[in-house]
A and B are shown apart, each in its own frame.
Chain A
Amino acid sequence: DSGVTQTPKHLITATGQRVTLRCSPRSGDLSVYWYQQSLDQGLQFLIQYYNGEERAKGNILERFSAQQFPDLHSELNLSSLELGDSALYFCASSVGPAGFYNEQFFGPGTRLTVL
Chain B
Amino acid sequence: TQLLEQSPQFLSIQEGENLTVYCNSSSVFSSLQWYRQEPGEGPVLLVTVVTGGEVKKLKRLTFQFGDARKDSSLHITAAQPGDTGLYLCAGEGQAGTALIFGKGTTLSVSS
B-binding residues in A (CB < 8 A):
2, 4, 33, 35, 42-45, 48, 55-56, 58, 90, 92, 97-100, 102-109, 111
Contact = CB atoms under 8 A, between A and B. Distances in A.
A4 B41 CA distance: 12
Contact of B44 (A2, A55, A56, A100): A2
Interface size grouping (class) on chain B: 20 to 34
Contact of B30 (A43, A58, A99): A99
B31 A43 contact: no
B98 A45 contact: yes
B58 interface: no
B99 A45 contact: yes
A100 B41 contact: no
B97 A99 contact: no
Nearest to B33: A103
